[in-house]
């Protein structure tokens, strides 16, 4: 039956591949969603009749532009900027900006496509988009980052607005970059439009708990998956990848919940800390000093060791939180995790598990939370920041964290209930894909062929 349903959708997928030649990450994201939608189309044939799939797989707008800037040595550098405004059926485009050498149009389209469904699952009135540049802020001075951000925003500003498109941060774009981007937007437009960017500083329109939100939300989702199986996060051994914003605050929240987080990583290798990560030391090394993960191990003492090669997923754990980047967790890693007895996997990054790895977890009965559900806490809190900006208000950390917890429970319950309704109980991949798709598709039907 599942094969028949995929046969029905293959023509759509082949057309996506043809129209987006070479964009392999985008192909992967589209296929992962389409493979879940057969049961939905059987119940809702009007979606096929209105060509919802074809329209949803084609971005409403794709913007590519040159970003020239001058480095500290006086040399002119040229990067490429992107913004894919994917779908605005539920609200203004919303999604982060990523500054990293790997960024290209295919990656931005994959991220934007995922963002559409992730944002829908939050229940907030926001559409989906994504953007960024192949600029690498690593080892660049503050002055160089400022000049790049100013040049980037000089082109992008004309496409933004609190009712049009609201970017946030992502890999390589933190509070420093958001500040420079917002300053240039304000300078060009002569408007203090707080709601045009999220992830702002607390003193000038930012929201409490926004920094922590993606990592905290990922742990909250993992906790809900365990509770649905009669277990709890307390006392569990957690392995996570990455050491950026998502990973740091996932570690913090997991340990506040009584778990022990024993790993973190960066591009140079990973650390195993058998006493549990010292989150404050990790913050000092990565957020303040912008150092390498090996420095954490050197300063932590005998409980921690740095491993320059191999896989972080070979470390024994009960819960795995991939929080680094796309396609980091391979099928071999998934097999190793299952062999070691992993109970739950929640994706803090966007599409960090390869499709074959996802299938390994599903076949083994592991609770698997896909990124579009498990890491939606960041964009949900961005939407809460937009609410505060619109009302010229500021909420406490405790209030915002409570709202985040409510939203993550809503996302979990929506995915869980949808999976049961479509005959695949416990399958959060199918539940997330159908629940998110249906919300966007209904809005597109209501708004006509646009």
Mean pLDDT of the chain: 95
Give yes or no for residue 85 having a pLDDT over 50.
yes
By three-state DSSP, how is residue 139 classified? coil
Helix axes 377-391, 397-421, angle to 10 degrees: 130
pLDDT of res. 96? 96
pLDDT of res. 6? 66
pLDDT over 90 percentage in the chain: 94
Confidence of residue 132 (pLDDT cuts 50, 70, 90): very high
In a domain, 112, yes or no: yes
pLDDT over 70 percentage in the chain: 99
Confidence of residue 2 (pLDDT cuts 50, 70, 90): low
Region 98-109 average pLDDT: 96
Give yes or no for residue 314 having a pLDDT over 80.
yes
Cβ density class 329-360: b for 16+ within 10 Å, e for less? bbbebbbbbbebebbbbbbbbbbbbbeebbeb
**What is the distance between the alpha carbons of residues 34 and 326, in angstroms, rounded to a whole number?**
19
pLDDT in tens, 357-385: 999 999 999 999 999 999 999 999 999 99
Give yes or no for residue 217 having a pLDDT over 70.
yes
Confidence of residue 11 (pLDDT cuts 50, 70, 90): confident
What one-character DSSP code corresponds to residue 366? -
Q: Is the domain of 186 the same as that of 239?
A: no
Q: Is the domain of 102 the same as that of 150?
A: yes
Task: Name the strand (E) or helix (H) holding 217.
Answer: helix 210-228
Boundary of a domain, candidates 353, 369, 385: 369
pLDDT of res. 4? 56
Q: Is the domain of 217 the same as that of 274?
A: yes
Task: Name the strand (E) or helix (H) holding 224.
Answer: helix 210-228
**SS3 sequence, 405-428?**
HHHHHHHHHHHHHHHHHCCCCCCH
pLDDT of res. 1? 46
CB 215 within 8 A of CB 401: no
Q: Is the domain of 129 the same as that of 238?
A: no
pTM of the predicted model as reported, rounded to 2 decimal places: 0.92
The set of catalytic residues is: 130
In a domain, 81, yes or no: yes
pLDDT of res. 8? 74
- The set of residues, in sequence order, having a beta carbon less than 8 Å from that of 227 and lying 6+ positions away, is none
CB 332 within 8 A of CB 392: no
pLDDT in tens, 134-149: 999 999 999 999 999 9
Q: What are phi and psi of 12, to 5 degrees?
A: -60, -45
In a domain, 38, yes or no: no
Say how many domains are in the chain: 2
CB 192 within 8 A of CB 186: yes
Boundary of a domain, candidates 192, 220, 237: 192
Region 319-336 average pLDDT: 96
CB 108 within 8 A of CB 184: no
**Which CATH number goes with the domain that contains 237?**
3.40.50.720
**Which CATH number goes with the domain that contains 87?**
3.40.50.10860
In a domain, 206, yes or no: no
pLDDT in tens, 189-216: 999 999 999 999 999 999 999 999 999 9
Boundary of a domain, candidates 332, 351, 369: 369
Confidence of residue 12 (pLDDT cuts 50, 70, 90): confident
Say if strands 165-169 and 237-240 run parallel, antiparallel, or are unpaired.
unpaired
CB 186 within 8 A of CB 381: no
**What is the distance between the alpha carbons of residues 344 and 12, in angstroms, rounded to a whole number?**
32
- Domain extent for 99: 61-192
Confidence of residue 9 (pLDDT cuts 50, 70, 90): confident
Cβ density class 404-419: b for 16+ within 10 Å, e for less? bbebbeebbebbbebb
∠ Cα 9 12 14 (to 5°): 110
Q: Is the domain of 175 the same as that of 132?
A: yes
């Amino acid at each position: 039956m599942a094969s028949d349903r995929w046969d029905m959708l293959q023509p759509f997928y082949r057309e996506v591949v043809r129209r987006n030649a070479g964009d392999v990450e985008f192909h992967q994201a589209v296929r992962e969603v389409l493979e879940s939608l057969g049961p939905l189309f059987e119940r809702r044939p009007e979606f096929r009749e209105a060509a919802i799939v074809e329209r949803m797989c084609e971005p409403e707008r794709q913007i590519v532009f040159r970003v020239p800037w001058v480095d500290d040595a006086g040399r002119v550098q040229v990067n490429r900027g992107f913004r894919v405004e994917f779908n605005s059926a539920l609200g203004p485009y919303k999604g982060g900006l990523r500054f990293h050498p790997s960024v290209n149009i295919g990656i931005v389209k994959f991220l934007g496509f995922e963002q559409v469904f992730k944002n829908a699952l939050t229940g907030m009135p926001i559409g989906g988009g994504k953007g960024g540049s192949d600029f690498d802020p690593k080892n660049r001075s503050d002055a160089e980052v400022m000049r790049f951000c100013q040049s980037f925003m000089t082109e992008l500003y004309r496409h933004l607005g609190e009712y049009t498109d609201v970017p946030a941060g992502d890999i390589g774009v933190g509070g420093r970059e958001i500040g420079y981007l917002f300053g240039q937007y304000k300078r060009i437009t002569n408007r203090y439009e707080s709601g045009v960017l999220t992830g702002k500083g607390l003193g000038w329109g930012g929201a409490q708990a926004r920094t922590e939100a993606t990592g905290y939300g990922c742990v909250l989702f993992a906790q809900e998956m365990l509770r649905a199986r009669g277990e709890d996060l307390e006392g569990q051994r957690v392995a996570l990848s990455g050491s950026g914003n998502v990973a740091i605050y996932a570690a913090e929240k997991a340990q506040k919940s009584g778990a022990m987080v024993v790993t973190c990583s960066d591009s140079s290798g990973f650390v195993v800390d058998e006493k549990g990560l010292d989150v404050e030391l990790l913050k000092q090394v990565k957020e303040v000093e912008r150092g390498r993960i090996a420095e954490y191990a050197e300063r932590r003492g005998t409980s921690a060791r740095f491993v320059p090669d191999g896989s972080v997923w070979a470390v024994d754990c009960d819960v795995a939180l991939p929080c680094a980047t796309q396609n980091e967790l391979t099928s071999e890693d998934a097999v190793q995790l299952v062999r070691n007895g992993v109970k739950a996997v929640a994706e803090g990054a966007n599409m960090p598990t390869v499709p074959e790895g996802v299938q390994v977890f599903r076949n083994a009965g592991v609770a698997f939370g896909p990124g579009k559900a498990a890491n939606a806490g960041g964009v949900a809190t961005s939407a809460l920041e937009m609410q505060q900006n619109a009302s010229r208000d500021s909420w406490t950390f405790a209030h915002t964290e409570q709202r985040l917890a409510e939203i993550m429970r809503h996302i979990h319950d929506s995915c869980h209930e949808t999976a049961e309704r479509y005959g695949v109980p416990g399958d959060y991949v199918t539940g997330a894909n159908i629940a998110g798709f249906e919300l966007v598709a209904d809005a597109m039907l209501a708004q006509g062929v646009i």
